[in-house]
Amino acid sequence: MTDRLNHFTVVDDCSRSQLEQLLELAHEISLDTRAFENTRTGRMLVNLFYEASTRTRVSFEAAAKRLGMHVINISATGSSVEKGESLIDTFYTIQAMGPDCIVVRHPEEGNATKLAELAEPGVHVINAGDGTAAHPSQALLDALTLKQSFSDFSDIRLVMAGDILHSRVARSAIKMFLTLGIGEIRLAGPPEFMPDDASSEGTAVYADLDSAVRDANAIMMLRIQKERISGLDIPDADQYHREWGLNAERLGLAAGGCRVLHPGPMNRGVEIASGVADGSQSRIRRQVRNGLYARMALILTLTRAQA
Amino acid sequence: MTDRLNHFTVVDDCSRSQLEQLLELAHEISLDTRAFENTRTGRMLVNLFYEASTRTRVSFEAAAKRLGMHVINISATGSSVEKGESLIDTFYTIQAMGPDCIVVRHPEEGNATKLAELAEPGVHVINAGDGTAAHPSQALLDALTLKQSFSDFSDIRLVMAGDILHSRVARSAIKMFLTLGIGEIRLAGPPEFMPDDASSEGTAVYADLDSAVRDANAIMMLRIQKERISGLDIPDADQYHREWGLNAERLGLAAGGCRVLHPGPMNRGVEIASGVADGSQSRIRRQVRNGLYARMALILTLTRAQA
Amino acid sequence: MTDRLNHFTVVDDCSRSQLEQLLELAHEISLDTRAFENTRTGRMLVNLFYEASTRTRVSFEAAAKRLGMHVINISATGSSVEKGESLIDTFYTIQAMGPDCIVVRHPEEGNATKLAELAEPGVHVINAGDGTAAHPSQALLDALTLKQSFSDFSDIRLVMAGDILHSRVARSAIKMFLTLGIGEIRLAGPPEFMPDDASSEGTAVYADLDSAVRDANAIMMLRIQKERISGLDIPDADQYHREWGLNAERLGLAAGGCRVLHPGPMNRGVEIASGVADGSQSRIRRQVRNGLYARMALILTLTRAQA
């Protein structure tokens, strides 16, 4: 494995030093965004989205445009995708337009990696979410958000809570934070939402949110899809909020100044109380802004001229 | 109230001098558009549309692109809006991308104003239509169209006809034209479509279109939504056209050279006859072009560097 | 007829020398694309699509952006088109924004030509497909693909196979290739898919694909819409593939090195076998890339300053 990053589809493909360089560059961009604008003028990024998305699509679009790139958006609705063309043929079609980056979101696991293997030299594939498997650029912005609060990843005692099982955000974040040497990851959520291999090297499973939160200095709440609550031993969203939601009282059990993260979009009053989401310890809006910086750093790194 | 315009959500927030400056700038742009191109290079405008629209969205997009800005379009279809995120959280998400302008269209009244209150310094909110309440940039282009034909607003005897009650275009236009010192506004339309407060300072209600039109030198026909006709004492669209449509004969009752306006999209043969829409007195296509100039002026004014 | 190309709606409007100049320019662009980038900075292209499309819309969008142009996409979904505005009023609305090119796809025949007649000086209309009538920019990229393999069009013995009747691609390609002096065009397909005037000056109809392919040096397979197979004396897609699909064995009957083309999107295993589509004689991906070059050449030619 060369140290050059060619695609960004799963966290496993990245070394610690590659991730640290990405975070360092994202941090520099956050300090002086204008200095990095228009450094990729005339290059092209294509957003190929087979699932609806505002925040991720717009974040990549804004990042690329800030860099001076052309952006072409393709969504599965209103496209020849509907005429039954295969994902691979669509990919070749897009690749033939001469893009520098192709950002792919697809409901099935592993597709971004499969496309990366078909990419020509000079075409860089970025995974913007594949099924419940991975969402590595979200993990990158989460890592940047943590980096802004902690001088060292080993100081972090992070709680990740909610629907771990179906969360590509959780899967990529756990992998990335462990690679970056995080101190501790505590997982908490309804047993039905906990993967079999949840308790593993570097992660521990907690039976309830109160004990997980105690003494933690960072908490990442995951989005719960309301329709999934019906599969639980929990009657409704209110009850879910009481048992697994982050409210002010529960946050009070954590270490002083504990940071609160959420990948969004939030269900206020379900997995997180509004007061916490908008409170002084929340870094949720900061995460969105960091998404811009992290994706600018990612695009810059992938499209860097070969030495 | 400072004389600096920070947002553009309701006409009431604008002084006469602010409106006159906007119109003067729009007029200058109409004379030499190229001179204003690329004067906002690298800045960003986001179109956040919760209702379908071609003309307004495209008009803002074209205006911003002419100025050299990046444009990101977000429509309620195919977005995390569908995942039930609140309008406010979506707004914060977009704001975190670092845009200069956010153009909002929303089916509920007052939302653009509410968002403007949440905007960070340097982020300017423009209302592109909220429910039946306001559509101030449409009023601005209508005012520009009138300005091109009349040396003084006080010379204008304007008829506004049709569905006044449900028209955000009418509401904003009446307010703006009165602020600009229009001579006379005559309202005409089926009684079911006339607001309770229609007859007010500066406006008068007419019982039929013929008497309203007599001697007028400008007529603005409003779009009638066909499904609303069923709520009237009028059997069908043909009958509506006979009673409340602008045809050549009726236009003949007005002053010579009377201008005809319509915000579009038109129902030809319902509120307006095709011959009138395409006739020599029509300024309807001119209105669309003025939309480009008015919105360029608006964006330029809002994003002007603080003195 | 001047030799200046003002619109590009039907092949019949183009002289042989105009087509040859377009192909020559497209060829030059293919050799050094970067040299042509940003030669139309600040100009504007609007994609007005009343039918879903990925490849054609994206191809025009990429071509225009490579040239430095602003691009505005309008699709019939989510637009005032749905409010029932006429095509002509929508066209005037778009024209009023000051675009240089308007690319139109519409399900009804002849509409692009009709709009071209309404265009102001300086506004150039491009037909991106009107009903089953014409798709001339697809024909242009097909011609470019053939030009890359044959030193002279008169050397080409081309088979065009499948649903000729409903194919705007076939109609435009036949016209263009004949104008360019192609050696021979052989048409093959189920009798229900063969137009009455198929056998004409320059074209011959073959009763089966084997005899058509024999000794041919280029084969263009057409997309078959699966729902149309039910109108045939053919039980299903498998049977269609056996009778009218291009597989390796059948391709073996052609001249050595015979080129294979397909406008896409492909139905693999129906009109074309996967092995042929991805094989060494296939020029299908090359066609997509040529679409970019052909459309850059087209836009450059249409927007060339008047002498």
Task: State the DSSP H helix or E strand holding residue C61, giving kind and residue range, or none if neither.
Answer: helix C55-66
C167 in the same domain as C62: no
Is B63 in contact with B93 (CB distance < 8 Å)? no
Residue of chain B whose alpha carbon sits nearest to that of C77: B52
Tell me the backbone φ, ψ of residue C121, rounded to 5 degrees.
-55, 135
A99 in the same domain as A184: no
Asked if A92's CB is within 8 angstroms of C288's CB, the reply is: yes
Residue in A106, A162, A156 with CA at minimum distance from that of residue A135: A106
Residue C135 DSSP class: -
Best of A38, A45, A50, A85 to disrupt the C interface (most C CBs within 10 Å) is A85
Q: What CA–CA distance (Å, rounded) separates A249 from A210? A: 10
- Structure ipTM: 0.92
C159 in the same domain as C178: yes
Paired sense of beta strands B218-221 and A124-130, if any? unpaired
Which CATH number covers residue A156? 3.40.50.1370
The reply to whether B6 falls in a domain is no
Give the type of residue at A171: R
Does residue C171 surpass a pLDDT of 70? yes
B85 contacts in A (CB within 8 Å)? 54, 264-266
pLDDT at A2: 56
3-class DSSP assignment, residue B195: coil
Find tokens 């282009």 and name the residue: B141
Q: What CA–CA distance (Å, rounded) separates C6 from A45? A: 31
Q: How many CB atoms lie within 10 A of CB B107?
A: 12
Tell me the backbone φ, ψ of residue B158, rounded to 5 degrees.
-100, 130
**Average of pLDDT values for C100-114?**
95
Is B70 in contact with A65 (CB distance < 8 Å)? yes
Asked if A84's CB is within 8 angstroms of C267's CB, the reply is: yes
3-class DSSP assignment, residue A61: helix
Residue in C193, C147, C81, C142 with CA at minimum distance from that of residue C295: C142
Does residue C307 surpass a pLDDT of 90? no
The reply to whether A2 falls in a domain is no
The reply to whether B1 falls in a domain is no
**Average of pLDDT values for C268-272?**
95
B211 in the same domain as B127: no
Six token digits for residue C77: 């979904």
Residue of chain B whose alpha carbon sits nearest to that of C85: B265
**Average of pLDDT values for C37-41?**
95
pLDDT at C84: 59
For the entire predicted model, the pTM comes to 0.94
C54 contacts in A (CB within 8 Å)? 74, 79-81, 85, 90, 93
A189 in the same domain as A70: no
Q: What is the least distance, in Å, from the CA of A6 to any CA of chain C?
A: 23
pLDDT at C146: 98
A155 in the same domain as A111: no
Report the residue from B77, B96, B99 with minimal CB separation from A288.
B96
Does residue C80 surpass a pLDDT of 50? no
Does residue C82 surpass a pLDDT of 90? no
pLDDT at A306: 61
Tell me the backbone φ, ψ of residue B270, rounded to 5 degrees.
-110, -85
Taking only the tens place, the pLDDT of each residue in A176-192 is 999 999 999 999 999 99
pLDDT at A28: 98
pLDDT-flagged residues of chain A (< 50): 1, 78-80, 82, 307
Asked if A292's CB is within 8 angstroms of B81's CB, the reply is: no
- Strands (DSSP E) found in A210-253: 218-221
Q: What is the least distance, in Å, from the CA of A81 to any CA of chain C?
A: 7
Asked if B94's CB is within 8 angstroms of A58's CB, the reply is: yes
Q: Is the peptide bond prior to B265 cis by the omega test (within 30 degrees of 0)? A: yes
Q: Which residues pair with A259 in a beta bridge?
A: A218
Q: What is the least distance, in Å, from the CA of A199 to any CA of chain B?
A: 30
The residues of C whose Cβ lies within 8 A of any Cβ of B are 42, 44, 46, 70, 72, 74, 77-86, 89-90, 92-94, 96-99
Residue in B213, B227, B220, B204 with CA at minimum distance from that of residue B284: B220
3-class DSSP assignment, residue C225: coil
Six token digits for residue A261: 């993260």
pLDDT at B263: 95
Asked if A96's CB is within 8 angstroms of C52's CB, the reply is: no
Q: Which residues pair with B125 in a beta bridge?
A: B102
Six token digits for residue B206: 């007419």
Residue B144 Ramachandran class (φ > 0 left, ψ -120 to 50 alpha, else beta): alpha
B258 in the same domain as B168: yes
**Average of pLDDT values for C49-53?**
89
Find tokens 């943590």 and name the residue: A146
Count interface pairs B-C at CB distance under 8 A.
74
Report the residue from A74, A93, A99 with minimal CB separation from C288.
A93
Residue in C166, C169, C178 with CA at minimum distance from that of residue C226: C166
B295 in the same domain as B252: no
**Average of pLDDT values for C193-209?**
92
Q: What CA–CA distance (Å, rounded) separates B128 from B104? A: 5
Q: Which residues pair with B204 in a beta bridge?
A: B186
The rounded Cα C153 to chain-centroid distance in angstroms is 18
Residues 6+ apart with CB under 8 A from C135: C127, C128, C129, C168, C169, C171, C172
- The residue range of the domain holding C25 is 11-135+291-302
Residue C221 DSSP class: E
B179 in the same domain as B101: no
Is A67 in contact with A36 (CB distance < 8 Å)? yes
Count interface pairs A-B at CB distance under 8 A.
74
Taking only the tens place, the pLDDT of each residue in B177-236 is 999 999 999 999 999 999 998 888 899 999 999 999 999 999 999 999 877 887 777 878
Mean pLDDT of chain C: 93
Report the residue from B38, B54, B61 with minimal CB separation from C79.
B54
Residue of chain B whose alpha carbon sits nearest to that of A57: B79
**Average of pLDDT values for C188-216?**
94
Six token digits for residue B110: 């007052």
- Strands (DSSP E) found in chain B: 44-49, 70-75, 101-106, 124-130, 157-161, 184-188, 203-206, 218-221, 259-261
A42 contacts in C (CB within 8 Å)? 37-38, 66
A277 in the same domain as A295: no
The reply to whether B295 falls in a domain is yes
Q: How confident is the model at residue C1 (pLDDT cuts 50, 70, 90)?
A: very low
pLDDT-flagged residues of chain B (< 70): 1-2, 77-84, 306-307
Taking only the tens place, the pLDDT of each residue in A183-225 is 999 999 999 999 998 888 899 999 999 999 999 999 999 999 8
Residue in C158, C220, C215, C161 with CA at minimum distance from that of residue C185: C158
Residues 6+ apart with CB under 8 A from C305: none
pLDDT at C81: 52
Residue in A281, A273, A159 with CA at minimum distance from that of residue A211: A159
Best of B83, B102, B123 to disrupt the A interface (most A CBs within 10 Å) is B83
The reply to whether C144 falls in a domain is no
Asked if C289's CB is within 8 angstroms of A98's CB, the reply is: yes
Asked if C52's CB is within 8 angstroms of A44's CB, the reply is: no
pLDDT at B1: 44
Residue C254 DSSP class: S
Give rounded-to-5 percent helix, strand, coil for chain C: 40, 15, 40
A124 in the same domain as A182: no
Q: What CA–CA distance (Å, rounded) separates C286 from A165? A: 43
Asked if A42's CB is within 8 angstroms of C54's CB, the reply is: no
The reply to whether A101 falls in a domain is yes
Domain count of chain B? Answer: 2
Is A176 in contact with A12 (CB distance < 8 Å)? no
Report the residue from C55, C61, C267 with minimal CB separation from A93.
C55
The reply to whether A204 falls in a domain is yes
CB-count exposure of residue C121 (10 Å: 0-12, 13-18, 19+): exposed
B41 contacts in C (CB within 8 Å)? none
Residue B246 DSSP class: B
B81 contacts in A (CB within 8 Å)? 54
Is B162 in contact with B246 (CB distance < 8 Å)? no
C297 in the same domain as C265: no
